[in-house]
Structure 1
Amino acid sequence: MQFKDYYETLGVEPSAGEAEIKTAYRRLARKYHPDVSKEAGAEETFKAVNEAYEALRDPQKRQAYDQLRARGYRPGDEVQPPPGGFGGGGPGGVDFEEIFAGGGAGGGFSDFFESLFGRGRGGGFGGAQGPRAQPRGDTRAKLAVSLETIYEGGSVRISVNNKTFDLRVPKGIRPGQMIRLAGQGGLGRPDGHAGAHGDLLLEIEYAAHPQFEVDGRNVIHMLPIAPWEAALGATISVPTLGGPVELKIPANSEAGRKLRLRGRGLPGDPSGDQIVELEVLAPRPHSDEQHQAYERMREAFGDDWRRA
């Protein structure tokens, strides 16, 4: 099992804060998402970025990873887990098929991740939560579901004790809610029947998404726009969980301005909205003509534009 440097994958220092890690993840996920990227190896890079972010965004997972990294491992070094692994996996033999946002990239986390944290975004080493036995032989585990599946409703394929299920995920299910699979948990129900299995209780959590964050039932999307679009106004195609829509950017908009797409958030009673936060970016000039355009802007606005 080879060590992975998750900080190196995201291009951040080990001292990076939560906001910096999130920004790096957004930038890389947007660049390598297989639905849009034309770069070679984009899907594998996208999976690696998702795995790194999943390890570092959770304080317990990050602490566990940092403890291992402090032993001096470097990328590619062989890591020998202690007998029984680092504590992940748990009883019940649960193995999830990882679901990546956007439907374009699937596949599980690496052996390194699963040995450290357990399968199915669970945990073990360092105290993170994972598949674990409950009283009466029930087994609890977390199941990460893409926002697209939460928005539309649908099925997620999982494997339990060498059996494969297409698990129906109700539309609009909330984080922390449970889906029960009767008879698919661990042994040991106190009902007097030898060998009886408990139930498998799957706690829903939302998978990290490269384009959206969730606030209650609202969905937040950071929209990069050019300075002239902010100043003059524009109509821009914006991604939503239900498909792209045209959004009118008012003239004289500033970075941080929030626009609301009503009813475009997660389903519920009432449904949430999508909040589009504007992020004004200056494109890098790549030609003489573009350099000259920036020169003309400098002459037009002068050096006092900050005070204005």
Structure 2
Amino acid sequence: MFGRGGFRQAYGQGQRRSYSAQGENTYARITVDLEDSYRGGTRQVTLKHSVLGADGRPQLRERTLNIKIPKGITEGQQIRLAGQGEPGIGEGKPGDLYLEIAFNSHPLFHTEGKTVYLDLPLAPWEITLGAKVQVPTPDGPIKVTIPANSTNGKKLRLKGRGIPAKQPGDMYIVMQTVTPPATTDNEREAYRQFGDAFNFNPRQSMGG
């Protein structure tokens, strides 16, 4: 004979369900080259993540993933890897892994969103008389015409030469005058003749 309490206990155990929960999403930051944004590519990334050990305690493990870098990605965007986050509990699905993109420091270029900037050194005669010069871009060198009578710091826009997203960004060349040193008698004489040829006082607006 079953007592009333014993019957309720046995019935409750039969209806009990195991606990399940989806795993947590995880986040990491990876660095790629600016050129990867122009061409796309694959990067191998080693990440640390926690797993439950045999004793039931979390342990840190390393895993290596091959990450596809889509063409046109910009700094700060995220790549979502479904099911690569923390494992779920019970029958719960694993969470997702989100990778935030950062660009490696570049010796020539810097970016703001989809816009790319390049400081371009120019000789005084190039920036004054105009010139056709070869200019590096993240997608390879191109020929650019420098307009005559340009000034130091002037920006030259190269439409659509920025990061190639659905709506491509632009690239800006920032002109920087580089004055050659005068180390020989001939070079110093050339500067004297240059100065004599112009009635020019760069400090006139200062009353100098």
Contact conserved, 2:72 with 2:166, CA < 8 A, in 1?
Answer: no
Partner of 2:43: 156
* TM-score w.r.t. length of structure 1: 0.50
CA–CA separation in structure 2 for the residues paired with 1:291 and 1:164: 61
Q: 1:166 aligns with which of 59, 66, 70?
A: 66
Matched, 1:210 2:107: yes
Partner letter of residue 90 of structure 2? G
Question: Which residue identity does 2:41 align to in structure 1?
Answer: G
Residues 1-308 of structure 1 mapped to structure 2, 5 A cutoff:
136-160=23-47, 161-186=61-86, 189=88, 191-193=89-91, 198-302=95-199, 304-307=201-204
Measured in 2, the distance between the counterparts of 1:302 and 1:294 equals: 14
Identical pairs, percent: 42
CA offset at residue 168 of structure 1?
Answer: 0.6
Say which SS state the counterpart of residue 116 (structure 2) adopts.
strand
Residue 288 of structure 1 and its aligned partner are, at CA, apart by: 2.6
Runs of 4+ in structure 1 off by over 6 angstroms are none
Structure 1: unaligned runs, 5 residues or longer = 1-134
How far apart are the structure 1 equivalents of 2:78 and 2:37? 14
User: Structure 1: how far apart are the matches of 2:66 and 2:187?
Assistant: 53
Does structure 1 conserve the Cα–Cα contact (< 8 Å) formed by 2:75 and 2:113?
no
Superposition deviation, residue 306 in structure 1: 4.4
Describe the SS at the equivalent of 1:157: strand
Higher normalized helix content (fraction of residues): 1
Of structures 1 and 2, the larger Rg is shown by: 2
Change (3 A) 1:303 1:182: closer
Rounded Cα–Cα distance in structure 1 between residues aligned with 2:135 and 2:32: 22
Following superposition, the deviation at residue 146 of structure 1 comes to 1.5
Residue 153 of structure 2: SS of its match in structure 1?
Answer: coil
CA RMSD of aligned residues (A): 2.5
Q: C-alpha distance in 2, partners of 1:201/1:260? A: 34
| Cα distance between partner residues in 2 of 1:260 and 1:243 | 17
Cα distance in 1 for residues equivalent to 2:173 and 2:117: 6
Q: CA offset at residue 303 of structure 1?
A: 5.5
Aligned-partner Cα distance in 1 for 2:113–2:94: 35
Identify the structure with the greater strand proportion.
Answer: 2
Residues 216/162 of structure 1: CA separation in 2 closer, same or farther (3 Å cut): closer
How far residue 277 of structure 1 moved from its aligned partner, in angstroms, is 1.3
Structure 2, unmatched stretches of 5+, are 1-21, 48-60
Letter of the 2:104 partner, please give it: A
Q: Deviations over 1:98-153 (max 9, x none)?
A: xxxxxxxxxxxxxxxxxxxxxxxxxxxxxxxxxxxxx9333211112211001111
In structure 2, relative to structure 1, the CA distance for the partners of 1:171 and 1:303 (3 Å cut) is closer
